[in-house]
Amino acid sequence: MNLIIPITKRIRAHHAKKHIQDLEGKTILDIGCADGYFGRSLKKAKVTGIDITLGQDAEKGLKFPDNSFDYVVMLAVIEHFKDHTKVLKEVKRVLKDGGVLVVTTPFHKAEKFINLYASRHEEGMQHTRNFVKQDFENFEGFNLTHHSTFEFGLNQVAVLRKK
């Protein structure tokens, strides 16, 4: 097992949690939840996690009613989708009005580092594209409210509010 992954997972979670306010009674969808680490850390919220390893592929649609969630979180996930715009349309649909999408993804300059230290040979684990701040600004149906990098500029967090 790669030793960097558990550390990076915790750092990502820390940066994402900064943007999730007033957890009491909030509904959160964690797309790409993996082992559920992030969801378990949000004790006062009602968290639903989905993951492709559980047979739940966000690219095939989200099986939730419209306006179901206060927050949708994608930690190191969006870069794996073949069609991120399709997923974003579904995220917009399931987010409540004014709901918040929190995304972490490697910064484009991190690819060489990632390829050296992380094994992504499993199907579906390859990065299909890199994202920069302008990409987040152009997400249809969302307003970018925060963008920053962390881990010495190797990762980034974007916070977007549903229009």
Report the CATH number that the domain containing residue 127 is assigned in CATH: 3.40.50.150
Higher pLDDT, 54 or 79: 79
| Token pair for 144 | 């970018």
Q: Please give the tally of structural domains in the chain.
A: 1
SS3 12: helix
Please tell me the predicted confidence (pLDDT) of residue 152: 79
Whether the full predicted model's pTM is greater than 0.85, yes or no, is: yes
Residue among 10, 147, 58, 48 nearest 160 (CA): 147
**Token pair for 145:** 């409210």
Three-class DSSP category at 92: helix
What is the domain extent for residue 86? 4-162
pLDDT at 94 over 60: yes
List the structure tokens of 15: 């940066």
